[in-house]
């Protein structure tokens, strides 16, 4: 931090991104047009599981304007598969989880067998997209249909194997244990056993994916523009596949139209387009259309839980046994990371002495499953928070009361959970007041007692109102690292580049705020460069609610290196002692002596290499520093949610009257941006809870392959939402930041399910799967009516 007080962190500075985006002057991958550019159309499987006998490309090759048509066989010995382990795990995590992980590598274009509807098997490159698609339609395939492995449960005992080397279709198993779950269950006065299902839906950014690549034969280098959240991962995989030095591969994510995790790993197309550009010596562009996106961009969620909870007559939970299956589809681009999150987050804000978890990541003939906003947390929050409501029902206690009785108290902080996190460090919740968050959430919907009275009165009038609660904690700001380079050149501007890759989070603004405070300069004197591998040697990217913490840490550490030089040089020029110097308003000066100072611009000039420098002995030329921030472990954001719903008994429609989330992500950089992140996440969660569904039939065909069937929430679907931000600083970094990109999306599905069950309590209804469909509600109402007759 600068010697001056922070002046930008904590302020809702207007975003510097807005101007260009409002004018339609941003540059998304789809907007790029390079001289001589060719266009790719990809031919995708219409079968869930099939052996490829032959692919006939002749007709496509004969079309005027077609430069190239290829099938998997043509690439088999040319391009290696993408590693199944795009995310690695430290040994300490492995020791704690006892995993068996055999995530299959993903062949870019299979030549032998197809494993999901939407998987690429051929491609055409042509002078324009219309021609490419015409030619693609002429490609004939001879396939032998194989029995599909339709879902995770069926996969366990299926004869068919998605990958021949994975018996039982198991790609990974994980185990975790705290205390002695077996004994605790045997001795528990009461037990609750349930099956919960969290359905499949997806990130669904408004901009589909897209890639443009251009090869430069003079330098034997390639530039790839990809709509991605992880430019450095794409660079690694492209360099590996094309056998080029990473230095000769530049990957840029220009303006990206939303990501939410769906663009958070390397896809085959990232590599294919780069390969085609190099092979053809011309720029190549591929844009995904929405149908392709629904079929082929990663799906998420789709977990089946078998839960057993032990508790006493007061509702105090002593043990949870969490057995679950992840339907990972045909591949699992980030390995067992989602399952790892699910295991680690199950107990949420509750103090539970015994826990046992066992998970299988299953391969099925569905689209690959990868993290989407929440990444394993909405699923377990659903199972845990539904269980609490069911315990409350059994004991005739209020669900709020059962939560309060089980919550970790503020004086227990920091709280050791007794399980390892994905970064290999034993989990310790760092700070916060969980019961206070729930109290505030209840106040936010008008108070518990007041609501119960209203509910009773409404019921007497034949109206069904319900209160739904949902609490969670979220590990944020995960490593392994983020990189940043900070420079001050002769212009005196502070230039910051990091590996963060924004997709709408306002990083250009937020990191300018952070850097301006670190340097005590005007925010307009900070230049921020993001999502470009040519500016930062090593970077990680924007996934997993991590950038506020990790990129800020890297900006700080690299700034510290540069500051050492700035002070040494200024001390030399000003003939003062370094310890008497401070940063103030873009200058370095002697404390208490306003006239003794020099601007950063002057320091930068004094730092130049050459004959006229003014550096003291031993100080290297140039004001430039790079650092790789490796966070000690994650920071723990948390939230409590409360919502009131009313059921329309005629239509089964759930009307959310009011939704409140009390969210704590530590110190906020830009409260307005933070608020937008949480609210955007909440609306995605509401979409997932009520409308959005990637559903498959028994043949493995996706039934929701367009926006006519995959229903996103619209402006008129959104209820009044109130987000109350608490700011308990994290002790794990000097800013007090925690991450907040994902949080909003975690709770709504279970909050809605709990609220609906609360409203329909007179019917004894249980909704233990998502989404909560109108027809499910009508069924409950009909069953109730039938029973009453």
Partner 1 sequence: MTASRTISVSINGEVLTGDAAPRMLLADFLRDVLGKTGTHVGCEHGVCGACTIIVDGVAARSCLMFAVQAEGADIKTVEGLADGDDLHPLQKLFSEHRALQCGYCTPGMLMTAIDLVESNSSLTTEDIKVGMSAALCRCTGYEGIIKAVTAYAEQVHGKPVRQESDNG
Q: Which residues bind ligand FES (CB under 6 A)?
A: 206, 257-258, 504
When CB distances are held under 5 to 8 angstroms depending on the partner's kind, the choice from ligand FES, partner 1, none that residue 247 binds is: none
Please give the Cα distance from 334 to 325 (Å, whole number).
16
Quick one: 454 or 561, whose CB is closer to partner 1? 454
DSSP state at residue 322: E
| Minimum distance from residue 8 beta carbon to ligand FES (Å) | 23
> For partner 1, which is the closer residue by CB, 409 or 714?
714
Phi, psi at 646, each rounded to 5°: -130, 140
In the complex with ligand FES, which residue's Cβ is closer, 238 or 294? 294
Instruction: Give yes or no for residue 658 binding partner 1 (CB under 8 A).
Output: yes
- Shortest spacing between CB 258 and ligand FES, in angstroms: 5
- Here the tokens at position 764 are 């004894």
Does residue number 410 form part of the binding site for partner 1 (CB under 8 A)? Answer: no
User: Which of residues 258 and 446 has its CB atom nearest to partner 1 in the complex?
Assistant: 258
The two tokens of residue 233 are: 């991962």
Q: Counting contacts by CB under 8 A, is residue 657 touching partner 1?
A: yes
Please name every residue paired with 473 in a beta bridge, in sequence order, or none if there are none.
638
Per the CB < 8 A criterion, the answer to whether 777 and 766 are in contact is no
Task: DSSP for 21-87, please give it.
Answer: HHTT---BGGG---TT-EEEEEEE-SSSSEEEEEEE-HHHHTSTTEEEEEEHHHHTTTSPPBPS-SS
CA distances from 629 to 308, 421, 439, 485, 626 (A): 40, 18, 36, 11, 10
The nearest distance, CB 490 to partner 1, in angstroms, is 28
Among 680, 736, 739, 743, indicate the residue that binds partner 1 (CB under 8 A): 680
CB of 25 to partner 1, least distance (A): 7
Our CB check for partner 1 shows the closer of 368 and 506 to be: 506
Nearest 5°: the CA angle 326, 331, 332 is 60
CB of 679 to partner 1, least distance (A): 4
Residue the block writes with tokens 């339907």: 327
Instruction: Name the minimum Å distance from CB 206 to ligand FES.
Output: 4
User: Strand 464-476's sheet: what is its strand order?
Assistant: 464-476, 635-647, 654-664, 721-726
Q: Which is nearer to partner 1, 49 or 373 (CB)?
A: 373
Q: Which of 88, 183, 714, 779 binds partner 1 (CB under 8 A)?
A: 714
Q: Does 461 bind partner 1 (CB under 8 A)?
A: no
In angstroms, give the least distance from the CB of 272 to partner 1. 22
Could you tell me which residues come within 8 angstroms of residue 678 by beta carbon, excluding any fewer than 6 positions away? 661, 663, 723, 725, 740, 743, 744
Binding mask 83-122 for partner 1 (x = CB under 8 A): ----------------------------------------
Footprint (CB under 8 A) of partner 1, residues 232-261 = 255-258, 260
Residue 504 or 652: the one with the smaller Cβ distance to ligand FES is 504
Give the shortest CB-257-to-ligand FES separation in angstroms: 6
Looking at residue 281, the DSSP 8-state letter turns out to be T
Please state the closest distance from residue 658 (CB atom) to partner 1, in A. 7
Task: Dig out the tokens for 370 from the structure.
Answer: 């990868």
Q: Which residues contact 763 (CB under 8 A, 6 or more apart)?
A: 780, 781, 783, 784
What DSSP character marks residue 15? Answer: P
**779 makes contact with partner 1 (CB under 8 A):** no
Could you please report the per-residue DSSP string of 200-230?
EE----SS--EEEEEEETTTTEEEEEE--S-
In the complex with partner 1, which residue's Cβ is closer, 64 or 164? 64
- Quick one: 258 or 446, whose CB is closer to ligand FES? 258
Provide the minimum distance between the beta carbon of 707 and ligand FES in the complex, in angstroms, as a whole number: 7
Strands 113-114, 50-56: parallel, antiparallel or unpaired by DSSP? antiparallel
x/- contact string, 466-505, with partner 1 (CB under 8 A)? -------------------------------------xxx
Out of 715, 786, 787, 788, the residue judged to bind partner 1 by CB under 8 A: 715
State residue 596 phi and psi, 5-degree precision.
-95, 90
Residue 679 lies near partner 1 (rule: CB under 8 A)? yes
Q: Of 59 and 672, which has the nearer Cβ to partner 1?
A: 672
Encoded tokens for 336: 């067992």
Q: Which is nearer to partner 1, 207 or 474 (CB)?
A: 207
User: For residues 586 and 713, which CB has a smaller minimum distance to partner 1 in the complex?
Assistant: 713
**450 lies in the binding site for partner 1 (CB under 8 A):** no
Please, are residues 115 and 49 in contact by the beta-carbon 8 Å criterion? yes
Total interface residues for partner 1 by CB under 8 A: 59
Residue 207 contacts partner 1 per CB under 8 A:
yes
Any contact of residue 682 with partner 1 (CB under 8 A)?
Answer: yes
Closest residue by Cα to residue 210 from 224, 235, 227: 227
Question: Considering the rule CB under 8 A, would residue 676 count as an interface residue with partner 1?
Answer: yes
Q: What is the CA radius of gyration of the chain?
A: 28
User: Would you count residue 506 as binding partner 1 (CB under 8 A)?
Assistant: yes
CA distance 749 to 101: 30
- Write down the least CB distance from residue 60 to ligand FES, Å: 27
Residues in the chain: 789
Q: At which residue do the structure tokens 């990091």 appear?
A: 498
> Among residues 596 and 711, whose Cβ is nearest to ligand FES?
711
The answer to whether 648 touches 641, Cβ cutoff 8 Å, is no
Instruction: Please classify residue 37 by burial: count the beta carbons closer than 10 Å to its beta carbon, then call 0-12 exposed, 13-18 middle and 19+ buried.
Output: middle
Q: Does 10 bind partner 1 (CB under 8 A)?
A: no
Nearer to ligand FES, 17 or 153 (CB): 17
Question: At its nearest, how many Å lie between ligand FES and the CB of residue 679?
Answer: 12
Residue 639: which of partner 1, ligand FES, none does it interact with, CB under 5 to 8 A by kind? none
53 vs 714 by CB, closer to partner 1:
714
Q: What minimum distance in Å lies between the beta carbon of 713 and ligand FES? A: 12
Q: Give the integer Cα–Cα distance in Å for 57 and 55.
A: 6
Residue 256 binds which entry of partner 1, ligand FES, none, CB below 5-8 Å type-dependent: partner 1
Q: Could you give the CA distance from residue 371 to residue 106 in angstroms, rounded to a whole number?
A: 17
Among 675, 693, 742, 758, binds partner 1 (CB under 8 A): 675
Question: Does residue number 721 form part of the binding site for partner 1 (CB under 8 A)?
Answer: yes
> Helices then strands (H, E): number in the chain?
21, 29
Could you tell me if 425 and 784 are in contact, meaning their C-beta atoms sit under 8 angstroms apart?
A: no
The listed partner (ligand FES, partner 1, none) that binds 716, CB under 5 to 8 Å by sort, is: partner 1
Nearest alpha-carbon partner for 728 in 415, 478, 436: 436
CA distance 682 to 684: 5
Is the Cβ–Cβ distance between 644 and 453 less than 8 Å?
Answer: no
Nearer to partner 1, 418 or 506 (CB): 506
Give the binding range for partner 1 (CB under 8 A) out of 9-17, 230-238, 394-402, 757-765.
9-17
| DSSP structure class, residue 157 | H
Nearest to 433 by CA among 666, 660, 672, 659: 666
Q: Which residues are near partner 1 by CB under 8 A?
A: 14-15, 17-28, 30-31, 33, 130, 134, 204-208, 255-258, 260, 289-290, 503-506, 657-658, 672-673, 675-676, 679-684, 706-708, 712, 714-721
């Amino acid at each position: 931090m600068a010697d001056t007080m922070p002046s930008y962190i904590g302020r809702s500075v207007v975003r510097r991104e807005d101007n260009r985006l409002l004018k339609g002057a941003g540059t998304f991958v789809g907007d790029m047009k390079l001289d001589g550019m060719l266009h790719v159309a990809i031919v995708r499987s219409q079968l869930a599981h099939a052996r490829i006998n032959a692919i006939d490309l002749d007709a496509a090759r004969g079309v005027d304007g077609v430069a190239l048509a290829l099938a998997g066989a043509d690439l088999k010995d040319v391009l290696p598969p993408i590693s199944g382990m795009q995310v690695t795990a430290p040994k300490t995590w492995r020791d704690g989880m006892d995993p068996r992980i055999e995530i299959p590598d993903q062949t870019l274009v299979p030549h032998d067998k197809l494993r999901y509807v939407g998987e690429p098997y051929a491609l055409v490159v042509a002078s324009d997209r219309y021609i490419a698609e015409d030619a693609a339609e002429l490609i004939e395939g001879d396939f032998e249909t194989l029995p599909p492995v339709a879902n995770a449960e069926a996969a366990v005992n299926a004869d068919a194997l998605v990958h021949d080397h994975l018996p039982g279709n198991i790609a990974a198993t994980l185990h975790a244990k705290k205390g002695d779950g077996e004994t605790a269950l045997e001795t528990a006065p009461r037990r609750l056993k349930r099956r919960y299902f969290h359905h499949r839906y997806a990130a669904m950014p408004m901009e589909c994916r897209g890639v443009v690549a251009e090869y430069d034969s003079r330098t034997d280098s390639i530039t790839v523009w990809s709509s991605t959240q992880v430019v450095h991962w794409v660079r690694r995989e492209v360099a590996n596949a094309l056998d080029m030095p990473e230095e000769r591969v530049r990957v840029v994510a220009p303006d990206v139209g939303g990501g939410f995790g769906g663009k958070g790993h390397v896809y085959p197309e990232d590599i294919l387009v780069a390969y085609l550009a190099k092979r053809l010596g011309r720029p190549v562009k591929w844009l995904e259309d929405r149908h392709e996106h629904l079929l082929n961009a990663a799906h998420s969620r789709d977990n089946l839980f078998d839960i057993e909870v032990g508790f006493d007559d007061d509702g105090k939970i002593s043990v949870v046994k969490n057995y679950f299956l992840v339907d990972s589809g045909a591949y699992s681009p980030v390995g067992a990371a989602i399952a790892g999150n699910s295991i680690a987050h199950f107990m949420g804000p509750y103090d539970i002495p015994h826990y046992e978890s066992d998970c299988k990541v299953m391969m099925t003939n569905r689209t690959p499953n990868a993290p989407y906003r929440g990444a394993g947390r909405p699923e377990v929050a659903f199972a845990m928070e539904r269980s609490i409501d069911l315990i409350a029902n059994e004991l005739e206690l209020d669900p709020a009361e059962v939560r309060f009785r089980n919550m970790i108290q503020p004086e227990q902080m920091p709280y050791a959970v007794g399980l390892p996190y994905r970064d290999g460090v034993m989990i310790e919740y760092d700070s916060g007041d969980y019961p206070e968050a729930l109290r505030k959430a209840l106040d936010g919907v008008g108070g518990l007692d007041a609501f119960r009275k209203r509910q009773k009165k409404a019921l007497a009038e034949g109206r069904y109102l319900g209160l739904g609660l949902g609490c969670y904690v979220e590990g944020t700001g995960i490593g392994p690292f983020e990189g940043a380079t900070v420079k001050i050149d002769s212009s005196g501007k502070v230039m910051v580049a990091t590996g963060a890759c924004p997709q709408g989070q306002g990083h250009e603004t937020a990191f300018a705020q952070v850097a301006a405070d670190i340097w005590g300069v005007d925010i307009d004197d900070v230049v921020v460069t993001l999502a470009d591998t040519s500016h930062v040697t090593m970077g990680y990217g924007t996934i997993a609610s991590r950038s506020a913490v990790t990129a800020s840490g890297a900006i700080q550490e690299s700034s510290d290196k540069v500051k050492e030089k700035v002070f040494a040089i200024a001390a030399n020029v000003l003939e003062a002692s370094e310890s008497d110097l401070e940063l103030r308003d873009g200058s370095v000066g002697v404390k208490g002596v306003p006239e003794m100072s020099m601007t950063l611009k002057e320091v930068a000039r004094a730092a130049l290499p050459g004959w006229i420098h003014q550096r003291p002995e031993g100080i290297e030329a140039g004001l430039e520093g790079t650092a790789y921030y490796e966070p000690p472990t994650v920071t723990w954001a948390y939230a409590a949610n409360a919502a009131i719903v009313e059921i329309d008994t005629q239509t089964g429609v759930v009307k959310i009257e009011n939704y409140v989330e009390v969210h704590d992500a530590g110190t906020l950089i830009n409260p307005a941006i933070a608020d937008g992140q949480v609210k955007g996440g909440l609306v995605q969660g509401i979409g997932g809870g009520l409308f959005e569904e990637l559903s498959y039939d028994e043949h493995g065909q996706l039934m929701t392959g367009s926006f006519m069937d995959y229903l996103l929430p619209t402006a008129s679907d959104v209820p009044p939402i109130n987000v109350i931000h608490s700011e308990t600083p994290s002790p794990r970094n000097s800013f007090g930041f925690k991450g907040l990109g994902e949080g909003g999306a975690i709770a709504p599905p279970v909050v809605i399910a709990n609220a609906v069950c609360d409203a329909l309590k007179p019917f004894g209804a249980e909704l233990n799967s998502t989404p909560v469909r109108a027809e499910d509600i009508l069924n409950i109402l009909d069953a109730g009516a039938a029973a009453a007759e």
